[in-house]
Amino acid sequence: MADRQPYEGPTAVYRLFSREDVLLYIGAANRIEERFSTHRGTKRWWPEVARHEIEWHDKREAAERAEAVAINAERPLYNIMIPALDGSGRTTIRYDAPAIAWHRGDPHYRSRRRLQREAREHAS
């Protein structure tokens, strides 16, 4: 059996937004529809997604770097793992991310709602 080589071809960085234009999630994938299908089946926040933006990169490495920079700079609501910018592959867990705890009594749930309200007010 041959070893599988990591995919190095064109890869997209995608951003998922709510109806209120709140940035929900940033990810990278070479098969976008498959990734969205996986999110649809596994992410509790998927019903909040109203639109997406996609930017393609020639190489996976470039997309992963762009994804790391975007997550660190833009702080999407549901990205829990924050990638290091030094290329080490390390991540930091974002304990304040609303996806960590989803229960109404949790303060993160309220912060998620507050962010959505602020986004709606900003759009007005």
Give the CATH number, domain containing residue 71: 3.40.1440.10
| Whole-angstrom distance, CA of residue 123 vs CA of residue 70 | 22
**pLDDT band at residue 114 using 50, 70 and 90 as cut-offs:** low
- Residue 86 gets which letter from DSSP? T
Count of other CB atoms within 10 angstroms of residue 23: 20
**pLDDT band at residue 123 using 50, 70 and 90 as cut-offs:** low
Of the two residues 30 and 83, the one the predictor is more confident about is 30
pLDDT at 50: 97
pLDDT at 83: 81
pLDDT at 115: 58
SS3 120: helix
**Count: domains in the chain:** 1
Instruction: Please check the confidence at residue 85 and state whether its pLDDT lies above 90.
Output: no
Note down the domain range covering 16: 11-123
Please name the residue ranges forming H helices in the chain.
32-42, 60-74, 107-123
SS3 1: coil
Residue 4 belongs to some domain of the structure: no
Contact 1, 103 (CB under 8 A): no
